Amino acid sequence: MPRAAFSPREADELWHCAQALADAARPVTLASFRSATLQADNKDAGGFDPVTVADRGAEAAIRAELARLRPQDAILGEEHGTSSGTSGLTWVIDPIDGTRAFLAGTPTWGVLIGLADRDGAVLGIIDQPFIGERFRGGLGVAEVTGPHGVHPLRTRAARPLNEAIVFTTFPEVGTPDDRAAFERVSARARLTRYGMDCYAYALVAAGQIDLVIEAGLQSYDIMAPIAVIEAAGGLVTDWRGGPAHQGGRVIAAATPQIHAEALALLNG
């Protein structure tokens, strides 16, 4: 069945809600960012998967807004799990994407607000509270707002891989085989940079870079970036070219041409 259409009024209501959710998370995250007393718990006994009071508090603030504005919608959040709904829509929340960056004091973390239906991403926000930039995409919107005003989002013009800028969180995530596949792409690219978490996806949408390649993602890591990048003219798939909204191994590309070139190497 085709995806249900949203009327202009419905789209405005959904965007009003999404903006309110991002607004609710901002003061909670900023209260702890670069705090000398910030501590982290570890969710991974075999490694380091940090969570802080800011992660939990930001998601709680988002959920409180949803209870007020759209109690009929379901919720999937990283820290507080799932809540059922009746509308067929699910808010997919990562209250701090990049908690390691948050702990280190680098402003490359973000708050991810995604909205999904049964087919995947409907709209998304990548919000960076400390910088003050908010990247929005979906339902006819593709823009970034921040200290320098409001600007449309548009992915970078087509170019071959040997002229591309590629971002990844390897070697921090993924298996050795995943990393080997990524390195086949990286070896052909002009420039590879590491880290950046969700901010790398924002840079694809803003036309600054060409590719983000990652593995081991969850739905809440990628739902909002999918909406933002697709609204800007790019594409996000898994490493086989299929849907990526469930997470796993993901490639985000500025153009179909560079996506195809990178995909061939990932599966080489």
Nearest partner of 129 among 149, 152, 145, 141, judged by Cα: 145
Peptide bond into 176 cis (omega under 30): no
Does residue 2 belong to any structural domain of this protein?
no
Instruction: Give the angle 188-194-195 at the CA atoms, nearest 5°.
Output: 150
* 268 residues of the chain, pLDDT tens digit each: 456 689 999 999 999 999 999 999 999 999 999 999 999 999 876 777 889 999 999 999 999 999 999 999 999 999 998 999 999 999 999 999 999 999 999 999 999 999 999 999 999 999 999 999 999 999 999 999 999 999 999 999 999 999 999 999 877 668 899 999 999 999 999 999 998 999 999 999 999 999 999 999 999 999 999 999 999 999 999 999 999 999 999 999 999 999 999 999 999 8
Angle of the 198-205 helix axis to the 219-231 helix axis, nearest 10: 10
189: domain range?
161-266
Listed residues 107, 126, 152: the one ending a domain: 152
Query: In this predicted structure, what is the pLDDT of residue 171?
Result: 77
Q: Quick one: 13 and 142 in the same domain?
A: yes
- For position 181, which CATH number holds? 3.40.190.80
Query: Is there a single domain that holds both residue 108 and residue 178?
Result: no
Q: What pLDDT shows up at residue 174?
A: 80
Indicate whether 182 and 240 sit together in one domain. Answer: yes
Q: Is residue 142 part of a domain?
A: yes
Cα–Cα distances (Å) from 29 to 86, 146, 160, in that order, read 30, 17, 39
Give the total number of structural domains in the chain. Answer: 2
